[in-house]
Structure 1
Amino acid sequence: MENYVAGNYEKVYLADGKQAAGSSSSYSTHLIDGEGKFNSSGLESFTQNANLSKSGKSYSVISIMGPQSSGKSTLLNHLFQTNFVEMNANKGRSQTTLGIWLAKCVNVEPCTLVMDLEGNDGRERGDNDTSFEKQIALFALAVSDVVLINMWCHDVGREKAANKPLLRTAFQVMMRLFKPRQTTLLFVLRDKTQTPFAKLEQILKKDTLEIWNSIPKPQSRKETAFSEFFNIKVVALSSYEEEMETYLEEVSELRNQLSSGEIMSTSDESFVPALGFSISAEEIWKTIRANKDLNIPPPTVMIAKVRCEEIAREKLEAFLANNEWCELSEATSTNNPVPDFGNKTSSLINACLSQYDEDAQLYEDDIRQERRQMLIDNLMLRIKPAYDSALQVIITGKVKEFKDAFENDLKGGKSFRDMVDICVERYSSQFDRAFEDISIPEGNWDCSVEKEKFMNEINAIVGQARGEKLNDLIHEYNEKLRDTTREPLEAILGNPGSETWPNIRELLSTQSKEIAKEYYQAMSQLGGDQDTTSLDDIQTQFQGYLKQIIVTKAKIEAPKVANLMQDRFITMFLQDSDSMPRSWNEDDIDINKIIRVAKTQVSN
């Protein structure tokens, strides 16, 4: 805790920037110290203690710059009831404010933040250390809506005392770094003189515009008017020491003008939400200190990127920790269907995005939408495993349901082909409905691969059943072929002769063709192979089977050949050409010739 004497009362500051009990309700913090260190923790505490989160974009920032010991802190304290440290005249004129102090104004609406800058042109830093003065001046111009330039009336028209070098540097850098936002430059002329106010105002505006016109400008800003960046206002105050009462009246009038918006620009294009002021201010200061002036984005973009990323991260973590989502995610790992998974998950996503939209509504639209899409992408990345599990449960479950239903339909005696078409169509539709039940619009996921996998599995079940049916059918018609050819074949082989093999070939052709037609008709009721298997192919298959039957039957009849040949020989030897018993006359019978003829008949 430090004690400072200001005027005729004592101000007490705590380390976190909050005032001690019994002091004013103003909050303050040492934003940037004399060495250029940014007080992040102090600003964070300041943001909380001052309830900046409630202000949204309805707030303003006012800063003051000017020569050392020119009464800047005193002016702010009287204007806004702040508690900035004031110079103790009894100790001599010296540096009082180091760096930048930040305070919230008391009883001012909308919320107003005030920055008290270290005075320039001080003997403590001298002429060789003006870079810090330029940096804090640039910082003030970057974050403020109104910049009070405190100076003595008799310094109007001068160079350093009128802040011309400082403004020249600030203007030049501002031209490159920031988009126009019409910051108000309020010249506060201290200790009125006999020079007419209108003349002083004219000189200040003329000198300021000359500074603007003299600085080099990037190509994109060649035609940019001063008025696009700045407004100039000028006020004059009486002497604080010699005309205290008048001074206080004029300060009160200035306070009214500032709080009413009479001086301040009405444009809020470059405003950042009050809650994000701490992030924006720190990022701008870091960039200025690192001399990355050409790469510094507008404050609105800075704060939008940082805050929207934080908000998106918070909402993602909250979604993943949500009990309802945790239950849904766990349910997908149980191999049981999760009713209404898609709608429930989508509802949680929408709630998460609505919360994001509400918290991020004050930030740049492009950045907000970009981070919103990143949030959606991250959500989908975390949700996808549970979704895939739910989809796999559907595939597994529907395949089993199809198999059971298909087997039951087979037992019912329905037409195989009609039953397949109806059952496959029914379960294809059921899969589509189940997919819709788990689908999540935000994911925009395609299930074509999973649908193909599902259809392949049920088609494999159908194919297996069709194969079994075809095997049964082939066996049935093979047996039928065996039965229909048994008697004709036995008759042919039982009485062999010169026509035996032609008769066998005829039997092979006619019977295989007949059974092939019947089989082809029966096979068409099963669907599938009839489009790729011709009737000739089927006939060839049955011919092959019938040949096996004939060969087998021939092998059975083969041992009887010797007896048949002997019987044939005897028959031909003992009978004449008319099949009559032969008469044996000693004179006209040629025994050797009869034997040769009988042998010939047997060989045939």
Structure 2
Amino acid sequence: MCYGIDHIVKLFIQAAQLRQRFHHSIAPGGLAGDRHVVVPASGFSIFAQNIWKVIRENKDLNLPAHKVMVATVHCEKISDEKLSDLRSDKGLLKLKEELQSGPVKGLGEKLSAIIDTYLSLYDAEALYFDESVRNAKRKQFESNALEIVYPAYTTTLRHLRYKALDDFKTKLGSSLNNVEGFASSSLTWTESIMLNFDIEAADASVRQANWDDASKARYKLRCDIDSHALAVCNEKLLEVATNSKKIEEERVKNIEKIVKFALTTISTISMVAVGSPIGTEIIDMCPEISDVISDVVSRVFSRD
């Protein structure tokens, strides 16, 4: 293929222009000249430093600080992971299993130790994130962790309340069977049971929590104790009233017997004195008055 001279000259001119564009690539019209920011290789180091400075000072940013956004995402992720681990913690599951059969001694300290462990794990993984975000998410994590162990705490209080009420019923009944005064026995055992409940409830308290369930459980226990004491008191009063009625009825019967005996005796004495055969029949029917009648009759006739 043959090219004309004009074509060859044009080709050389285009090649020279292209060479100039590569040579002045960052100049307007160059290969990189239309870019928003063009930095020569010799100035890249300074340019990079300026970029980092802008990032650190958050200049010209309309969005929340990048470090806050990053910290929020990562701290929430760490919190979720630790809460999931807490729910399946072997120590916590064992405590819940033991609580099914009754209160667990030292429960509060055991739950507190478990929570401390997971708070430490959270702190270790969230250490290098923004402090304000880290602390805020830690408080939320602690609150959620306490919600997980809360049922174990309330179950313990319920066990303690039922146990205390049963103890009061048993000890009060034992005191009354030993003929101790009701009022003094009731007061003594109420104070003793309530004091013991306070000690056991404190043993179940969790250090990181400020729950007021113990005071509510204590109030319910005192109401239950007072209610039982009142029921026992009413029962004893009814028993006393019933016994008094029986005693009074027996007393009346005895008086009636005495009066009847006296009347019969007097009547028989009169009949015997006049020689009535009826008197003899009464003596035969009531041998127990024979001696009395004979004595009375003999005295009467001896006076005559």
Same fold (TM over 0.5): yes
Q: How far apart are the structure 2 equivalents of 1:122 and 1:347?
A: 70
Pick the aligned partner of 1:470 from 223, 229, 237.
237
Q: In structure 2, what is the equivalent of residue 35 of structure 1?
A: none
Query: Which residue in the other structure is 2:133 paired with?
Result: 367
- 1:328 and 1:121 map into 2 onto residues whose CA distance is 75
Matched, 1:330 2:219: no
Q: Distance in 1 between matches of 2:87 and 2:131?
A: 26
Structure 2 gap ranges (5+):
1-20, 260-304
Instruction: Give the residue type in structure 2 aligned to 1:441.
Output: R
Structure 1 residues 456 and 123, CA, compared in 2 at 3 Å: closer, same or farther? farther
Would you say 1:309 and 2:53 are equivalent positions? no
Equivalent position to 2:171, from 405, 426, 437:
405
Report the 3-state secondary structure (helix = DSSP H, G, I; strand = E; otherwise coil) of the residue aligned with 2:46: strand
TM superposition shift of 1:346? 0.2
Per-residue deviation, residues 237-293 of structure 1 (Å, max 9, x unmatched): xxxxxxxxxxxxxxxxxxxxxxxxxxx98xx9879xxxxxxxxxxxxxxxx9xxxx5
Counterpart-to-counterpart distance in 2, 1:331 and 1:121: 80
**1:186 corresponding residue in structure 2:** 46
Alignment partner of 1:388 is 2:154: yes
Deviations 1:196-255 (A, max 9, x none): xxxxxxxxxxxxxxxxxxxxxxxxxxxxxxxxxx979xxxxxxxxxxxxxxxxxxxxxxx
Please state if 1:377 is matched with 2:125: no
Q: 2:190 aligns with which of 424, 433, 443?
A: 424
Deviations 1:131-154 (A, max 9, x none): xx57xxxxxxxxxxxxxx84378x
- Whichever structure has more helix as a proportion of its residues is 2
Contact 2:109–2:207 (CA under 8 A) maintained in structure 1: no
Which residue does 1:168 correspond to in 2?
none
* TM-score, with length taken from structure 2: 0.64
1:351–1:152 Cα change, 3 Å: closer
In the other structure, the counterpart of 1:151 is 40
By relative contact order (CA 8 Å, sep 6+), the higher-ranking structure is 2
Q: 1:469 to 1:187 in 2, by over 3 A?
A: closer
* CA spacing shift, 1:349–1:472, aligned 2, 3 Å: same
User: What does residue 85 of structure 2 align with?
Assistant: 318
Once the 2 structures are TM-superposed, how far is the Cα of residue 299 of structure 1 from its aligned partner? Answer: 2.2
Q: Shift of residue 481 of structure 1?
A: 5.0
| Corresponding residue of 2:228 | 461
Looking at structure 2, the residues matched to 483 and 126 of structure 1 have their Cα atoms a distance apart, in angstroms, of 128
8 A contact 2:22–2:30 mirrored in 1: no
Equivalence for 1:260: none
Within 5 Å, which residues of 2 pair with 1:195-234?
none
Q: What pairs up with 1:500-539 in 2 under 5 angstroms?
A: none
Aligned length: 233
Cα pair distance change 1:123/1:345, threshold 3 Å = farther
Q: TM-score by structure 1 length?
A: 0.34
Would the alpha carbon gap of residues 125 and 461 (structure 1) be closer, same or farther in structure 2, given more than 3 Å must change?
farther
Change (3 A) 1:425 1:93: farther
**Match for residue 120 of structure 2?**
354
Aligned partners of 1:335 and 1:393 also within 8 Å: no
Distance 1:270-1:302 versus aligned 2 partners, 3 A rule = farther
Distance 1:412 1:126, change over 3 A: farther
Residue of structure 2 equivalent to 1:443: 209
Distance, in Å, in 2 between the alignment partners of 1:120 and 1:458 is 95
Percent of residue pairs bearing the same amino acid type: 24
Cα RMSD for the two superposed structures? 4.0
